[in-house]
Structure 1
Amino acid sequence: MMNFSTWPTLLVVDVEGNGTHPPDLVEVAALPVRDGNLDTSTAGAWLICPPRPVTPYATRVHGLTNEVLAKAPAWRQISDQVHGVLGTAWICAHNAHVDYRALTAHLPNWAPAGVIDTLRLAKATYANLPSYGLDALIEHVQPDLSAAPAHRHRATYDAYATAQLLVAMGSCYETWDQLVAAAVPPGMPGTADEAPTLW
């Protein structure tokens, strides 16, 4: 049985973009998980006014409009604050390379201790599910999302749901190292192959 008190500092993150390629950030959420519990009291959530308009498709996905975001600060005004909250903690996200890539593009001096991907973890934990998307995992695990902020496809909601899934799946492993072996994508910070070898 997992002893959650052995986990390092970890933040479940989610970002939403404006639909351009590469994306400009319009929302970032960072939710700490401590001792197997979601610490909403110290979570970070930021709306951002992007330098380029939000595409109609992106607005249909997350519901954030150019009008709403016009009142939000620009990234340069909050980037130090976001960097300060993330620090050097582990991060976790669903399909984590997307969020990791977006955050590192916007925070060039930031480097997490490691990256947990709940998509990869779900494939290791739950064999033969028809889908490993966030909606399918919510349906399978049935986490309590009654206190989740906002709605699906907003960064705060998706980070909350992902954190619940992480804790549920984490309880299927005996140690943090076992979870890391199952959940850190190759080449991402936190993989065992980062250790120097003699060869």
Structure 2
Amino acid sequence: MTDWKSLNYVVVDVEGNGQQPPDLVELAAVPIVAGVVGETSSWLVKPDQPISHFARRIHGISNEQVEDAPVFGYIEADVRKALDASALIAHNAHVDVGVLQRKLGDWECPEVFDTLKLARRLLPGRKTYKLGALVEELGLDHDLDGEDRPHRATYDAIVTARLFVHLAGRRTLEELRDQPSGGDRDDEPALF
């Protein structure tokens, strides 16, 4: 049995522009090394297409806020460095992974741990598995300042990292690896 702390993880969260397919407007990456949540790296990005009104209502990022932000190509090397880990963690991971694969082209995504699927399996019987509901129930946002809020990449990445560490607990890596979770429906559609 392998200790889950033996892998280096990166927790990611992306916020998009509301177009289809979504383009990146904000990205945060939080390392977890030896079971310890590290410092967040985050970027605002000027998307190719404007941010839709709907997406702005969700994450609060306006076109004016990203007007002077770098285009993705300018920060790509830093993003690749931040994503260099044995495993990637995200809540409703297919959304984040999809955006990253489109933006990074030849990037090879490592093993993925989806906290949405893990929570369904390891915390059965919840009415919802939305990130906000789990964070509130488990008290995972206790010391975040007012600048970070739900649906912003930094906040969501930090609380997802805390959720993963909570779910991992004393489990082995084998116990955490993806197993059936009672269906693959997604409680949290891509809101951007």
Identify the residue that residue 164 of structure 1 maps to in structure 2.
162
Q: 2:3 and 2:85 mapped to 1: Cα distance?
A: 22
Alpha carbons of structure 1 residues 21 and 144: separation in structure 2 relative to 1, 3 Å = closer
Moved more, 134-143 or 146-155: 146-155
Residue identity in the other structure for 1:167: V
Identity %: 38
Q: What's the Cα RMSD here?
A: 2.1
Identify the residue that residue 125 of structure 2 maps to in structure 1.
128
Q: 2:47 and 2:54 mapped to 1: Cα distance?
A: 15
Residue deviations 1:45-81, cap 9 Å, x none? 1100111110111111111111110010001111122
Contact 1:89/1:112 (CA < 8 Å) preserved in 2? Answer: no
The normalised TM-score by structure 1 is 0.84
Contact 1:121/1:169 (CA < 8 Å) preserved in 2? Answer: yes
Identify the residue that residue 5 of structure 1 maps to in structure 2.
5
What are structure 1's unaligned runs of at least 5 residues?
185-199
Identify the residue that residue 188 of structure 2 maps to in structure 1.
none
Q: How does 1:43-58 map to 2 (within 5 A)?
A: 43-58=40-55
Q: 1:154 and 1:35 mapped to 2: Cα distance?
A: 26
Q: How many residues align?
A: 180
The normalised TM-score by structure 2 is 0.87
Q: How does 1:1-199 map to 2 (within 5 A)?
A: 3=3, 5-6=5-6, 8-40=7-39, 43-147=40-144, 150-171=148-169, 173=171, 175-182=172-179
Identify the residue that residue 184 of structure 2 maps to in structure 1.
none
Following TM superposition, the consecutive aligned residue runs of length 4 or more in structure 1 with deviations greater than 6 angstroms are: none
Residue identity in the other structure for 1:22: P
